[in-house]
Amino acid sequence: MTRKSSIRPARQTSVAGLIMLIFMLLFGIAFTVLVGNVLHENEAPLIMSLVLYLFMAGWIGTVLYMLVYHFRNIRHPEGVPLFEVDTEAVPGEDVAKPNFARKLRDLEQLKTDGLLSQEEYSRKRSEILDEKW
């Protein structure tokens, strides 16, 4: 039995990525303009200018793509997966089977901590017990 796991960066990572990528975008634009002017002023062969502009178009395009990804990752409530991995279930592990004992203990702790009223506790406990074992 396989299951999918999504890998996505944390929001803090995406914020740091946005800051670095903005710097890289500004650097790429400035580098293209400065080196392009130097090549033009020194009458460099056309192939050198073409190589520069092709490389920098790839640089700027890649940076823009990554900026959009990290911006979407920050804005989306659950984040945007970077990639998904199919994993095999461990033999003997029933992925679909919930841990009822753990749920009931957690529920009891919430009641003990005063976070649930008796009515809420009873209702939720009944829901857990009514689930398929």
pLDDT for res 37: 96
DSSP character at residue 18 = H
Query: What average pLDDT does the structure give for the chain?
Result: 88
Segments making up each domain of the chain, as ranges: 2-88, 100-130
Per residue in 26-82, pLDDT (tens digit) is 999 999 999 999 999 999 999 999 999 999 999 999 999 999 999 999 998 888 888
Task: Give, in order, the Cα–Cα distances in Å from 86 to each of 7, 97, 110, 117.
Answer: 11, 19, 35, 41
61 vs 88, residue with greater confidence: 61
Q: Is the pLDDT of residue 133 over 80?
A: no
Q: Is the pLDDT of residue 95 over 60?
A: no
Cβ contacts of residue 8 below 8 Å, gap of 6+? 73, 78, 79, 80, 81, 82
84 vs 17, residue with greater confidence: 17
- pTM of the complete model: 0.60
Residue 94's pLDDT band (boundaries 50, 70, 90)? low
